[in-house]
Amino acid sequence: MEAVKEHIQAKGEQAQLDLFQSTQKIIKEAVGYLGYSDGMYELLKEPIRMLTVRIPIRMDNGKTKVFTGYRAQHNDAVGPTKGGVRFHPEVNETEVKALSMWMSLKAGIVDLPYGGGKGGIICDPRVMSLGEIERLSRGYVRAISQIVGPTKDIPAPDVFTNAQIMAWMMDEYSHIREFDSPGFITGKPLVLGGSHGRETATAKGVTICIEEAARKTGLELKDARIIIQGFGNAGSFLAKFLKEKGARIVGISDAHGALYNVGGLDIDYLLERRDRFGSVTNLFHNRISNKELLEKECDILVPAAIANQLTADNAANIQASIIVEAANGPTTWEATEILSKRGILIIPDVLASAGGVTVSYFEWVQNNQGFYWTKEEVTDRMRDVLITSMNKVFATAEKHQVNMRLASYIVGIRKTAEAAHFRGWA
């Protein structure tokens, strides 16, 4: 059993390494298109800072357990770094590094005054008590407090972290610094300086990208058949918003498996029955596998769960005409090339899931000003930002005759590269 576990873990780490290396490869190409030197690529190919911490936590049984955590800061030439904190058993250094690089790209695409950052702790909050999760959240902040802060590096929620965890982290940081610091972290509850619309921002952003992609390809969203892999924060709100637009959600999935019905699934029922970790398919006997779901018939496929789902192994079998990536890193570079050659439109992760960081930025701006916006103001501003960004990426793909992923990287890395150049770093 242990050997099987180790084999699966090694396979996962190799996949992360492949993804990290292909990210470097695309950044290199993008830097080349922008006309920068090899020195610029050397600067941007890795995070400038990577902190590994070991956090001792008193567990409920009275014993101490030591957790490993990371914080990566890709580049701070533009401004403070920004990105979520992930609590997951499969977190590893390579993944956190890659995620911080994607955050720089996202911030560049939506034109925010940030560089990319990311954090993670190797843990499984599904089997921890709330008290243990609180102590771990506070311990992590104490461990990384020297390198984070409202003008240095601003964390946020990610997989298996939420507004309550952000509240504990903000409270711990405020104690350490001895002043109330809402701008230290985003994704907080509204009463602690959170922003309207933050919880649904990623899904709203993906919905806007889907509407735009459908418009550009002449697909009618009403009755369009949509598959969503993942039913967590991103996937479940997305299912709700798309259903409200009249689309037919024919497939959804979670870590236990998938449901598919060409006539459309009862999304309201599934939303009502899902647990707080985004699981619902375990309640059904007629589940299929995640792998099978991805290859089912649909118009739009939205990977909204984990990385490395569309690969050279299944790219030829995907039936969707549009893929919109809500998850980070769901498609390998090889799969991107196969799918693009097949004429499938891909709206890449660094663009499609940028709604979250955009509203996180709005939250930070509101905290800095002490002046809070309405839900409508947040939504309207996000829509403007995403549509402008999407048009920039489409125009770049057209200008350089490249696929949408490379075009996104060209748009995304430009701001960091320019800032680093002006500062005289490369």
Residues that bind ligand NAD (CB under 6 A): 158-160, 202, 229-235, 253-255, 278-279, 290, 304-306, 326-328, 353, 356
Asked whether 282 and 252 are in contact (CB, 8 A), the reply is: no
Tokens at residue 226, please? 């949509």
C-alpha to C-alpha distance for 46 and 63, rounded to whole angstroms: 37
C-alpha to C-alpha distance for 110 and 388, rounded to whole angstroms: 8
Q: Report DSSP state, residue 125.
A: G
Owner of token pair 């320019």: 418
Asked whether 34 and 115 are in contact (CB, 8 A), the reply is: no
166 phi and psi, to 5 degrees?
-65, -35
Nearest distance in Å: CB 222, ligand NAD: 25
Beta bridge partners of 242: none
Nearest distance in Å: CB 414, ligand NAD: 21
Element (H, E) at 421: helix 404-422
In the complex with ligand NAD, the residue whose CB is nearer, 182 or 278, is 278
Nearest distance in Å: CB 91, ligand NAD: 11
Per-residue buried b or exposed e for 224-260, using 16+ beta carbons within 10 Å of the residue's own CB: bbbbbbbbbbbbbbbbbbbbeeebbbbbbbbbebbbb
Which class for 174: exposed (0-12), middle (13-18), buried (19 or more C-beta within 10 A)?
middle
C-alpha to C-alpha distance for 28 and 97, rounded to whole angstroms: 16
- Active-site option among 97, 118, 243, 296: 118
DSSP for 313-359?
TTGGG---SEEE--SSS-B-HHHHHHHHHTT-EEE-HHHHTTHHHHH
Owner of token pair 């396979």: 11
Per-residue buried b or exposed e for 24-51, using 16+ beta carbons within 10 Å of the residue's own CB: bebbbbbbebbebeeebbebbbbbbbeb
C-alpha to C-alpha distance for 45 and 28, rounded to whole angstroms: 8
Beta strand 64-73 pairing with 49-58: antiparallel
Tokens at residue 413, please? 């890395």
Tokens at residue 62, please? 């009275």
118 catalytic? Reply is yes
The residues assigned a catalytic role are 118
